Structure 1
Amino acid sequence: MTLSKHEVVDGDKATVLIVDDNSDNLDVLSGVLRPFYKVKAAINGELALKVASAKNKPDIILLDIMMPGMDGYEVCQQLKLNPSTANIPVIFVTAKTETKDEEAGFKLGAVDYITKPISVPIVLARVRAQLALYNQQRELEILVKQRTKELDDTRLEIIQRLGCAAEYKDNETGLHVIRMSWYSKFLAEQVQANDEWVELLYNAAPMHDIGKIAIPDRVLLKPGKLDKEEWTIMQTHVECGVEILGEHESDLMIMAREIALCHHEKYDGSGYPNGISGEDIPLSARIVAIADVFDALTSVRPYKNAWSVEKAIALLVEETGKHFDPVLVPEFIKCLPRVLEIKDKYMDVFDE
């Protein structure tokens, strides 16, 4: 018998785990399968779960039902409840031959049912067929993940480019969005344990001021203080940003829109556009507000010179509980060594 590509994994034989409390049954099945597959054996349900959850997982499991202690049904149920083993195909191999027994096994997630005493050709054919299906499924999942990653990478690249495009209007290098994104990530790591959320924030933060694209240069680049009319125009960049980003189901776009809308809100409710306060302001926007202001203060802008780090930190402390979340400011200060490393690494050429 020649192994097909569906009976090998990463260029090697597939691994079959046999679970049976009877050593004679283990010997018989091992003898049938060993010429074609790697074979592991477990004499009870507890050991089977341990072997199935190990680093080198089996590619298929042949599982007896009638075992002392944890029977095959319970083993199968536990396998399907564990995300790391849920997709491993399970074939029941048992002397229980009634239809209701087969139905019970299939309801628990088994893919096939072989009765004892076993038929060698049937065992080999069933194992081969289920391995082929399992490997096709894994190949499809890998392909879907690759395509999804390509789409995500493309979407992320577009977001980052758009964020830089907006920043070029009042910062010739566009490095502000890179710096403040890193600052946001550092602060998020201090207060948010969810790594996926932190990464999402890091990738969404560059879009915070995308609405600046719509602000006339006479307002955005004015070297002096804005008058009342000009300030009203400047504030519209929030709504413009929200319109540009639109409404999407993507978690990344949802957070980018949330940040664009709320990063000018203030903790005491005196911000814009909606005057919300405290924890009604999304955490993402409260974090970005600190990162954005710190970098704006310590960078050259058309209307000002760069502040010293010490002066900028003093303002953050002074505005704690007013502009900024009182919990987040101390956490940002703890990040300062890493913040300053990024500031030096991505310094604008005209920064002092």
Structure 2
Amino acid sequence: MLALVLDDAEMNNLVMVASLRPLAGCVPHAFTVPAEALAFAESRACEIGVVITDYEMPGMNGIEFIRAVRRVPGLAVVPTVMVTSHDQRSLRREALEAGATDFLTKPADAVEIRARVTNLLALSEAHRAQRDHAAQLAREIAAAVAMVEEREREIVSTLMRAAEHRDSDTGDHIARVSAYVGLIAEAMGLSAADTRQICLAATMHDVGKIAVPDAILLKPGALTPEERREMEQHADRGRRILSGSDSPVMRLAAEIAGSHHERWDGAGYPYGLKGEAIPLSGRIVAVADVFDALTTARPYKQAWSPERARAHLQENAGSHFDPRIVEVFLSRWSAVQTFLDLGREPAAATQAA
């Protein structure tokens, strides 16, 4: 490991380097200018095992240098020794607060220098081993999490393939809704992990439709009041299908399934929730789901133009939809347009209702 030595007196550096050279595995590098020593520390941080600095130097004293070293990435805990001719308690206290690990008082003999530095290099090695072990554990945890997430995606994919047998548009619809949900989540500042999670959970928002009879699900016209009530059961059924899991994604999916048809004004279903009583995930998916439904041809309707669907969201912000989420969604309009033709015939997106 490298030993960084700093003293504005060249002779002191020569004595320190000569004392350190007999130590196995220790390569001393001496500097007389603090700025040069700091630049070296920044460029070789991963190799430095100990820093030894004088106290009294022009331009930057030893305490200031230690503070600067501590700000260098990778050197926050590297053992640091301050060499001084002073034995003042207040000075040592200030040095300790700055990050000093140990002290040498001038004139220090070679035996003392080697003994102290040997111990500090061992401490530095222990810190490195602990850091490397923590990094390895982090990699193993990340790999395990990735495996769990992949298994969850497989389960979701299997579940949604079953739903596609009921409705040929389901696969394209859930892909577009998931894409829109991702745009909203990112624009709202959700973390990358939370965005991935809500995008995956959103693909299951209509899983309850597997319990809706074909005569209602695929009916090419308006539903009767009784048929409408049956169709509306899919939200609560979806929540019940997905509930009871320990998986965060499945819990979120259950929340979305049960709340994405609630309305901001309380007139939605299945529970009549209002405003922020509706889970945020459900409010996000509501905007994405309705926008895609409007701009997609269905058995009972032609596709609306994107502009008409956009106007509908604006007109119903504050009644059907959370106005903040509508604003966020429309603020990403250029990105929204890139998803409009996902899995859809090019002409379909521009048909008027």
TM-score scaled by length of structure 2: 0.69
Work out the CA distance in 1 between the residues paired with 2:331 and 2:210: 38
Work out the CA distance in 2 between the residues paired with 1:73 and 1:257: 57
2:148 paired with 1:155: yes
2:29 paired with 1:39: yes
1:12 paired residue number? none
**Displacement after TM superposition at 1:242 (Å):** 5.7
Alignment partner of 2:339 out of 328, 342, 347: 342
Work out the CA distance in 2 between the residues paired with 1:20 and 1:156: 54
- Range 69-78 or range 296-305, more displaced: 69-78
Alignment partner of 2:204 out of 206, 210, 218: 210
Return the letter of the residue paired with 2:134.
E
**Displacement after TM superposition at 1:236 (Å):** 0.8
Gaps in structure 1 of 5+ consecutive residues: 1-6, 8-14
**Displacement after TM superposition at 1:321 (Å):** 1.4
Work out the CA distance in 1 between the residues paired with 2:193 and 2:326: 20
Deviations 1:268-314 (A, max 9, x none): 23334554444454554433322232223334556655443233223
Seen in structure 2, the aligned counterparts of structure 1 residues 233 and 142 have a Cα distance that, compared at 3 Å, is: same
Task: Determine which structure has more spread, i.e. the larger CA radius of gyration.
Answer: 2
- Range 16-25 or range 131-140, more displaced: 16-25
Identity of aligned residues (%): 24
Maintained 8 Å contact 2:317/2:323: yes
**Displacement after TM superposition at 1:98 (Å):** 9.9
2:138 paired residue number? 145
The DSSP-based 3-state class of the residue aligned with 1:340 is helix
Maintained 8 Å contact 1:238/1:273: no
Return the letter of the residue paired with 2:29.
V
Maintained 8 Å contact 1:267/1:321: yes
Return the letter of the residue paired with 2:51.
L
Maintained 8 Å contact 1:211/1:242: no
The DSSP-based 3-state class of the residue aligned with 2:243 is helix
Return the letter of the residue paired with 1:204.
I
Return the letter of the residue paired with 1:223.
L
Q: How many residues align?
A: 328
2:102 paired with 1:94: no
1:113 paired residue number? 102
1:200 paired residue number? 194
Work out the CA distance in 2 between the residues paired with 1:102 and 1:241: 66
Work out the CA distance in 2 between the residues paired with 1:219 and 1:136: 62
Return the letter of the residue paired with 1:203.
Q
Maintained 8 Å contact 1:18/1:62: yes
- Range 301-310 or range 326-335, more displaced: 301-310
Deviations 1:28-71 (A, max 9, x none): 44553699547374755x8877775x465353342448457976
TM-score scaled by length of structure 1: 0.69
Return the letter of the residue paired with 2:144.
L
Over the aligned positions, Cα root-mean-square deviation in angstroms equals: 4.5
Seen in structure 2, the aligned counterparts of structure 1 residues 263 and 212 have a Cα distance that, compared at 3 Å, is: closer
Within 5 A, what are the aligned runs for 1:293-332?
293-300=290-297, 306-332=303-329
The DSSP-based 3-state class of the residue aligned with 2:51 is strand
The DSSP-based 3-state class of the residue aligned with 1:327 is helix
Gaps in structure 2 of 5+ consecutive residues: 349-353
The DSSP-based 3-state class of the residue aligned with 1:94 is strand
